[in-house]
Amino acid sequence: MGRKSKPPAPPKEPQEPEGGRKWSEKVEVLLEKVMERFPDVVRLDGRMADEPALLTKPDTVVEVAKYLNSNAILPLNYCRSVTGIDKVDRFEVVYNLAHLPVPGDGFDLEFERIALVVVIEDRIEPKTETLMEIWRSADFQEREVYDLLGVGFDGHPDLRRILLDEEFRGHPLRKDYPLMGRWEDMQAINAYLDEGQIKALKEEAGLEFNPDTDVPPNYKR
């Protein structure tokens, strides 16, 4: 009997740049104030290529987001994008935030950016709080994360699928999402499936799963 397959190890976090990384004066001051105000927030300058990242949890994300949006140092008044990531042992929702210059800022202010990352450790019922009341542009993008990864956003007024049909089963960007289709059609590419995916595929087709004959040797763990 083949042993049950184990999920792959979570990817390693990027290393901080040697000697640290410095951002603009206003961004540095804001980051320091956030760390003072919210001691549980983790700062990772090496996470993003061109912006610092602040990691927080679902139960504190609204407070942190409100501060980032309304602070007097550098109010982040625009949410550029919202993306979801399956990190195997957790989900992460990334809000890429920016300050868009407004009248009174002057013309020398750069397009400043900070990433707010929500770390969700619950894979059974992953959820966080919606931030669309703070940044309206997060509306459809939170729905996309819900659609493709199955992460819920408490407080969202219209949380439903946006890309896939309402009858679609599951969330296809999850790392444990099995490939669907007829078993007969999938046998030719079963080398790309792990043991759990092959089992789910055969059960979907109403066929009995045999780990000794159905799982390629290199996928038995």
Q: DSSP letters along the chain, please?
A: -PPPPPPPPPPPPPPPPTT-----HHHHHHHHHHHHH-TT-EEETTSSSSS-EEEE-TTTHHHHHHHHHH-SS----EEEEEEEEE-SS-EEEEEEEEE---TTS-S----EEEEEEEEE--SSS-EEE--TTT-TTHHHHHHHHHHHH--EEET-TT---SSS-TT--S-TTSTTPPPPS-HHHHGGGGGGS-HHHHHHHHHHTT----HHHHS-GGG--
Q: How high is the pLDDT of residue 40?
A: 95
112-120 and 152-154 strand pairing: unpaired
Average pLDDT of the residues in 209-214: 79
Range name among 47-51, 153-157, 184-188 with the lowest pLDDT average: 184-188
CA 60 and chain centroid, separation = 16
pLDDT band at 76 (very low <50, low <70, confident <90, very high): very high
For tokens 């595929």, the residue is 201
For residue 32, pLDDT over 90 is answered with yes
Q: How confident is the model at residue 71 (pLDDT cuts 50, 70, 90)?
A: very high
Residue 176 has pLDDT above 60, yes or no: yes
Distance, CA of 142 to chain centre: 10
pLDDT at 208: 82
Single-letter residue type at 174? R
Contact 108, 102 (CB under 8 A): no
Computed over every residue of the chain, the mean pLDDT equals 82
pTM beyond 0.85, yes or no: no
Domains recognised in the chain with CATH numbers: 25-154 (3.30.460.80), 183-219 (no CATH)
Check: CB of residue 126 under 8 Å from CB of residue 152: yes
Question: Which pLDDT tens digit goes with each residue over 79-121?
Answer: 999 999 998 889 999 999 999 887 766 655 568 999 999 999 9
